[in-house]
Amino acid sequence: MKNEIKDWINDLKQLKRLDEIYKKGIIEFNNYFPYSGKVEEYKEEGKWEKNKIINKEVDSDDPIVKFYFKNCDYTMGEIAKFFNLSDSCVRVRISKFLTNQKNKKNGKNIKNE
């Protein structure tokens, strides 16, 4: 029993010593970034600029592509149901349009058909 108590006391001493060493190595957060006194205004996540939906006018003859960009809040599945098509068909047509736009931007006039 005496050895167990001695070991327990030694463990507590080591923990205390480690805790003191750890506290010496910590720098307070306010030493890095002093408090400015300014408080930011709270905004709900939906009102952030990055979360706003942007409806774009698109130069395309494809009605699916036009619908996709005018109704940004629709999913691919909802668009497919609206046009009575499969999800993959809608994805392929939008992907082709975006690829063509990327190629035009990069100076390539290649059409994906």
**Tell me: the pLDDT tens digits for 50-70?**
655 555 677 788 888 888 888
Domain extent at residue 80: 55-105
The pLDDT of residue 8 is above 70: yes
* Residue-averaged pLDDT of the chain: 79
Is 23 within the bounds of a domain?
Answer: yes
Cα–Cα distance for residue pair 12/5, rounded to 1 Å: 11
Q: Which residue has the higher pLDDT, 109 or 13?
A: 13
Q: Which residue has the higher pLDDT, 72 or 5?
A: 5
Q: What mean pLDDT comes out for the span 16-28?
A: 81
Percent share of the chain, pLDDT over 70:
82
Total tally of structural domains belonging to the chain = 2
Is 86 within the bounds of a domain?
Answer: yes
Nearest to 111 by CA among 102, 101, 100: 100
In a shared domain, residues 60 and 101: yes
Is 70 within the bounds of a domain?
Answer: yes
Is 79 within the bounds of a domain?
Answer: yes
Is 110 within the bounds of a domain?
Answer: no
Is 75 within the bounds of a domain?
Answer: yes
Cα–Cα distance for residue pair 113/97, rounded to 1 Å: 10
Cα–Cα distance for residue pair 113/83, rounded to 1 Å: 20
Cα–Cα distance for residue pair 86/80, rounded to 1 Å: 6
In a shared domain, residues 59 and 98: yes
Is 37 within the bounds of a domain?
Answer: no
